Amino acid sequence: MKEDKCIFCRIANGEIPSATVYEDDQFRAILDMGPASKGHTLILPKEHFKDVCELKEAYASKVLSLGGRIGAAMKKSLGCSGFNLVQNNGESAGQTVFHFHLHVIPRYDGEAPIVTWKPGSPTQEELQETAKRIHAEL
Ligand code: 5GP
Ligand code: ZN
């Protein structure tokens, strides 16, 4: 994706209007147009990075605390009781827009959790073997 064609580059840099929750020199946080719940926000870096693996340290070191600040503000302003920080990398992980973004998704009492999985049951040997394989590439 060329950066001049990337929708999130254009939104982050103000070329396309958005419902902006927060802005500084590095980030714009906007409301998602297809929200999982009221207030669902996307934090977009103003520079183009495909995913978290490309994200520069100058952004990576700030994005998590910004997610926490926005989540805390949602609790005060919208009355949610919790929030999920979700960040998808790759098609298999559900990424549909290939410009890094962190979802901040308010959760309200009575709603079912949105991030769930059926727990597997690996053996200790399988866990050790898998850990070794990942570690070898770090
Ligand atoms: P992903 O699946 O890549 O993690 O999330 C992409 C998110 O971006 C989706 O939740 C989708 O609703 C949202 N989205 C896609 N295009 C636009 C857009 O043009 N404007 C806004 N505000 N949200 C968008
Ligand atoms: Zn982009």
pLDDT per residue as tens, the chain (138 positions): 667 789 999 999 999 999 999 999 999 999 999 999 999 999 999 999 999 999 999 999 999 999 999 999 999 999 999 999 999 999 999 999 999 999 999 999 999 999 999 999 999 999 999 999 999 999
23 C-beta closer than 6 A to ligand 1:
no
Q: Does domain 7-136 have CATH number 3.30.428.10?
A: yes
pLDDT score for 5:
87
Q: How far is the CA of 91 from the centre of ligand 2 (A)?
A: 16
Nearest to 94 by CA among 111, 112, 113, 115: 115
How far apart are alpha carbons 54 and 60 in whole angstroms? 10
* Beta pairing partners, 41: 31, 104
Select from 18, 37, 42, 85 the residue to mutate for testing ligand 1; criterion: most ligand atoms less than 8 Å from CB.
42
- Nearest CA residue ID for atom 12, ligand 1: 34
- The reported pTM is 0.96
Number of Cβ atoms within 10 Å of the Cβ of 59 = 19
CA distances from 66 to 39, 59, 114 (A): 15, 10, 21
pLDDT score for 1:
61
